[in-house]
Amino acid sequence: MSSLSSELDLALALAQSAEDEILPRFRTVTATRKPDGTEVTEADREAERSMREHLAEARPDHAVLGEEFGDTGPDDARYRWVLDPVDGTAGFTIGVPLFGTLVALLEDGEPVVGVIHFPAIGETVYAARGEGCWFRTDEEEMQVQVDPVDAIEEATITTTALHSSDVTATEEQTPYRLTTLVRRAGKFRFVTDCLQHALVARGRTHAAVDTIMHPWDIAALVPCVREAGGVAAPLDPSADDIVFGGSLVTAGSEALLNDVRTLLQPNRDD
């Protein structure tokens, strides 16, 4: 695939088709529980169904991995779309307008196209390999870049929640040292789900931490941050596949990412 422009256009169209299913249900939807205990709504399911129908027509030889309907398509497909129709369902169900729709394309397992779309606030961050990262609102469209701060003490750092941290980790979770990071950061804030990584890509914040993530949470974020000049990696240093690494740190500089990642590791003496 010499150019990814057409794939990025398709990814943006998929996000729009998801919005058409999501917004009419926003503020009125009822949530149920999946077997894993997480919430799901009709908006999640219908938005993913719409995107899958679009892909079946536009890219029938591509595989698809989605949060609601799993992995489908050829096992040996070079290209795989990764879909999260409503990233931030817990907030979505109570009327918080900061949820996102995530659309990504993997080429041989590498995330090369990413769209982070915020239907309720009319913002989109998107990127394709080699084409930069872009930010679009109803009024404007501009290329964006990270702010490459190196020192934790000078950085604005965010996370989504306290799970898998030294505050609330269960026996099955890694107790990442979030309290140490909170104390060291120049500014620390809780920012919902994919929005925190979009802010890194836009240069509004400097690093974002998610201690527990699924492939559909991660795949779209990576091209956006990287094309904006930033870096992304799993929290676990032994993880060698970023999309399936189970967690994510993004940052505006490699020095900051490495220091945040190191500081968060449990069982350190400093």
134-144 residue pLDDT tens = 999 989 999 99
Helix, strand or coil, per DSSP, at residue 209 = strand
- Where would I find the H helices in the chain? 5-22, 42-58, 89-92, 178-184, 193-201, 215-218, 221-227, 254-264
% of the chain surpassing 90 pLDDT: 89
Confidence (pLDDT) at 270: 56
Confidence (pLDDT) at 1: 43
5-144 CATH, one of 3.20.20.70, 3.30.540.10, 3.40.50.720, 3.90.550.10: 3.30.540.10
Average pLDDT, the chain: 95
Tell me the C-alpha distance between 179 and 7, whole Å: 41
Domain covering 152-264: architecture:
3-Layer(aba) Sandwich (3.40)
Confidence (pLDDT) at 143: 98
Give the pLDDT band of residue 124 (cuts 50, 70, 90).
Answer: very high
Confidence (pLDDT) at 35: 81
Confidence (pLDDT) at 268: 62
Helix, strand or coil, per DSSP, at residue 16 = helix
Element (DSSP H or E) covering residue 80:
strand 79-87
Output 241 or 29, whichever has higher pLDDT.
Answer: 241
What ranges do the domains of the chain cover? 5-144, 152-264
Span 26-44, mean pLDDT?
A: 85
- Say if residue 79's pLDDT is above 60: yes
Confidence (pLDDT) at 269: 59
- Say if residue 123's pLDDT is above 70: yes
